[in-house]
Amino acid sequence: MGTLTIMASGTNEALKHTGSVLSALSEKLYVIKGGCGAGSAVKMVNQLLAGVHIASAAEAMAFGARLGLNTRMLFDVIRHSGGHLGMMFENRVPHMLDNDYTPYSALDIFVKDLGIVTNDGSSRKVPLHISTVAHQLFLSGSAAGWGRCDDAGVVKVYETLTGVKVEGKVPILNKEVVLKSLPSEWQVDPTDDIRRLNHNNSKILIVLDDDPTGTQTVHDIEVLTEWNVESLVEQFRKRPNCFFILTNSRSMSSEKASALIKDICSNLCTAAKSVENIDFTVVLRGDSTLRGHFPEEADAAASVLGEMDAWIICPFFLQGGRYTIEDIHYVADSDQLVPAGDTEFAKDAAFGYKSSNLREWVEEKTVGRISASNVTSISIQLLRKGGPDAVCEHLCRLQKGSTCIVNAASERDMAVFAAGMIQAELKGKRFLCRTAASFVSARIGIIPIAPILPKDLGINKERNGSLIVVGSYVPKTTKQVEELKLQRGQILKSIEISVDKLAMKSLEEREEEIKRAAEMADLFLRARKDTLIMTSRELITGKTPSESLEINFKVSSALVQIVRQISARPRYILAKGGITSSDLATKALEAKRAKIVGQALAGVPLWQLGPESRHPGVPYIVFPGNVGDSKALADIVKCWARPSRISSTKELLINAEKGGYAVGAFNVYNLEGVEAVVAAAEEEQSPAILQIHPSALKQGGIPLVACCIAAAEQASVPITVHFDHGSSKQELVQVLELGFDSVMVDGSHLPFKENISYTQYISFLAHSKDMLVEAELGRLSGTEDDLTVEDYEARLTDVNQAQEFIDKTGIDALAVCIGNVHGKYPASGPNLRLDLLKDLHALSLKKGVFLVLHGASGLPEELIKGCIEHGVRKFNVNTEVRKAYMESLSSPKKDLVHVMASAIEAMKAVVAEKMHLFGSAGKA
């Protein structure tokens, strides 16, 4: 990035000025003598030096800013120049650079202290010029209203007088410019080497994850939510490359988190000893953009596992837009890189921090126990120019007990580091890693896979709605929820729960709020509606970090209670936020282990719940609070929504062709008919087609069509809606706009050439809407819905004409006439030309067209099977279903609802029988 070039040519003059100001302090050491006691005199000298140090520090930094220097870099250069600057300079200048004037020693104290010094100097006739000027500066600051600010606030006087800003925040950078300025990546992908090294290394990588979001870069790996010795022994015996243990420690106090990590590490050691040839490396996956219990968890792990050669700090996470460059950790926001200390994450009520520089972050979090100057780092230059061997060499040179920052700006950087670290481990080095998710996948050599879709898990047949639970409060989550409601608000059912009632009001109000939400959610899910449960968006925090954690606990535990009280099995569950997703998995869903299937979206883990959970096998989407753009949540919910139609008519017939069976198309006229077909299909696990004849459309109109479409959408098996015997161009053009999946163009009453022209016209329009087109060649005798075709008008399908017809019309399915009739067959029984059907089947296979047989009512089983063997994939059924309906009306009933129920059962029995006859039962 060339940050050193930010310093202007006046650097030497600025440093000389600073040095001259500080050296002038020595003139004060001789002036106070006699008259006062030694202790009081020393105190007065100390007051003078402290006040002048702070004032001169403010003057130096203001002068540097006026010269156009990067003040933070100026401070670093002075601090590391080798000279002794004094405690006040090193302590107070960071306050000025951070623009943080939280009072440690208020500015007014130096108004008082330097006032005493200057008064005493005056009474003793000692000219204290520097002290007097410093006193005037503090007086000016107090008069300006900064008296109760930290004494470093005296710099504001200079800022006001000179119009400069001393604050030395790390600048926001252009992401594209920065990434292009970096050296080219290491030319070799080390993933294969990592896998080979891991095989030789034989250490199992165990990831202690402080929330479930750390699984966001891996797949085909197990995550445990319990860690007793027996479970760990079972896991070790599987000898996996890696597994996760979900600790959820970020929701705990530091004391409880430390005790938990000690307990887990002790159990790991015990379990490892009981399994032959087992060794492991622990990763504390808990970055969450630098939030979490550090160094407490690392200290706890080391107290059990023993001293490490180094602690590795590696928060790079590509999918979360988190980069570490020149030891500064950035969070990507659109096309910018924002220093982590300036993001909303740094303002976390429980885990807040100020430093974006990871060296300084370590010093800040360890409260000075590990100074920034003692933290080493691996640069991007070393990764990209030296490769894994250089990483290994660097790690092996570290003093025991070191802390090492890993810079990274790409997945390749991460893989290079991982390969070098494994080499160092093979040489006997031991490391304790605190990292984000990207390190884990790099360390075990995982190759990313595409996001998992609902069809990959076979959940499209699930009938209930999905459950989305949002507990995260980061601004990104709030934006994502707003976008979700904007895009899906008309479909999605939203339940907002009051955080005030859950955390701040009486127990009675809390329980009532929980009960209300659970009952509503259960009803919505059973009504097959995707359901959002979200906490109210007003953030309520405590006065202290521990109070904030307690509020978080009350809210999270309430979400657990709500989900526990929901008895409906959701299609899938999405939990938004680390703590929320952890608590729901372990406490509400009672999962003891789950399989990490992959990701639902980049950086969004997807689990399948284990057999012991309340909803075995249900997909569980763990959506981190800080991942994705504003549309990410809406994108997942839209992608994972239950399809409006499970299949198209064409898909039904393709599957029938592959499976060697046929699908029944059942004519329906009212709600009872629709219910009978859908109920039979679901009970028999069969695909089916709801078919509307023109006469039925004339009577039932658009409500009948809407009823069929809604039933098809809500069914748990593939059901489509077909318009039958469209013999009018005007009628069919209108039908194409009503939402049917497929249409039959019936020009069989027309001369051959006119039939082709008519069918061709409608076929073009229907295909533009992705609708399957069926047409009839030849003509059936018999009666259907008051339309009678006399025997002398009937015509069998001609094979030669069929070939020309198919070629010129582009139809998808051909209704053939082989002696079949509409309505009842004669007393002598049906006389079907199976030889003709055989020839038509040969043609249909060649042309990729499905064969359809109208008039299936009354056909015996052997003829049905013969037709299926010769390629019939759709049978139209009408007469027998209508007959069952009419006969059910003949027996008296108490009420209309009983008449309807009886009719449904009668028709359902016929439909179910046909499904078994056609071979479609069990094929859904």
Residues tagged active-site: 724
Measured between alpha carbons, how far is 409 from 414 in angstroms, rounded to an integer? 8
Burial of 895 from C-beta contacts in 10 A (0-12 / 13-18 / 19+): exposed
Largest CA distance in the chain: 139
Measured between alpha carbons, how far is 101 from 98 in angstroms, rounded to an integer? 9
Measured between alpha carbons, how far is 344 from 329 in angstroms, rounded to an integer? 14
**What is the amino acid identity at position 344?**
E
Sheet holding 821-822, edge to edge: 787-789, 781-784, 821-822
DSSP 685: T
Q: Which pair of structure tokens corresponds to residue 4? A: 């050193």
- Alpha-carbon torsion 591, 247, 249, 531, what sign? negative
Measured between alpha carbons, how far is 587 from 757 in angstroms, rounded to an integer? 66
Name the β-bridge partners of 205. Answer: 242, 281
Q: Which pair of structure tokens corresponds to residue 192? A: 């294969």
The rounded radius of gyration (Å) of the Cα atoms in the chain is 38
Whether residue 791 contacts residue 815, with contact meaning beta carbons closer than 8 Å, is answered with no
Measured between alpha carbons, how far is 297 from 366 in angstroms, rounded to an integer? 12
Measured between alpha carbons, how far is 219 from 372 in angstroms, rounded to an integer? 36
Measured between alpha carbons, how far is 803 from 618 in angstroms, rounded to an integer? 49
Whether residue 216 contacts residue 605, with contact meaning beta carbons closer than 8 Å, is answered with yes
**What is the amino acid identity at position 659?**
G
DSSP string of 259-325? HHHHHHHHHHHHHHHTSTT-EEEEEEE--TTT-S-TTHHHHHHHHHH---SEEEEE--BGGGTEEEE
781-784 and 787-789 as β-strands: parallel, antiparallel, unpaired?
Answer: antiparallel
Whether residue 215 contacts residue 596, with contact meaning beta carbons closer than 8 Å, is answered with yes
Q: What angle do CA 375, 379, 385 make, to 5 degrees?
A: 150
Distance of CA 674 to the CA centre of its chain: 39
Burial of 799 from C-beta contacts in 10 A (0-12 / 13-18 / 19+): middle
Exposure class string for 439-471: b at 16+ Cβ within 10 A, else e? bbbbbbbbeeeeebebeebebeebbbbbbbbbb
Whether residue 740 contacts residue 702, with contact meaning beta carbons closer than 8 Å, is answered with no
Whether residue 747 contacts residue 777, with contact meaning beta carbons closer than 8 Å, is answered with no
Measured between alpha carbons, how far is 639 from 921 in angstroms, rounded to an integer? 29
End-to-end Cα distance, the chain: 60
Closest residue by Cα to residue 224 from 256, 248, 201, 189: 248
Q: Which pair of structure tokens corresponds to residue 295? A: 């160094």
Name the β-bridge partners of 468. Answer: 532, 574
**Measured CA distances, 24 to 20, 56, 129, 432 (Å):** 6, 10, 11, 48
**To which residue do tokens 């003078």 refer?**
48
**What is the amino acid identity at position 748?**
S
- Alpha-carbon torsion 800, 805, 806, 811, what sign? negative
Closest residue by Cα to residue 748 from 730, 725, 766, 731: 725
Secondary-structure breakdown of the chain: helix, strand, coil percentages, each rounded to the nearest 5: 50, 15, 35
Whether residue 194 contacts residue 422, with contact meaning beta carbons closer than 8 Å, is answered with yes
Closest residue by Cα to residue 920 from 716, 684, 729: 684
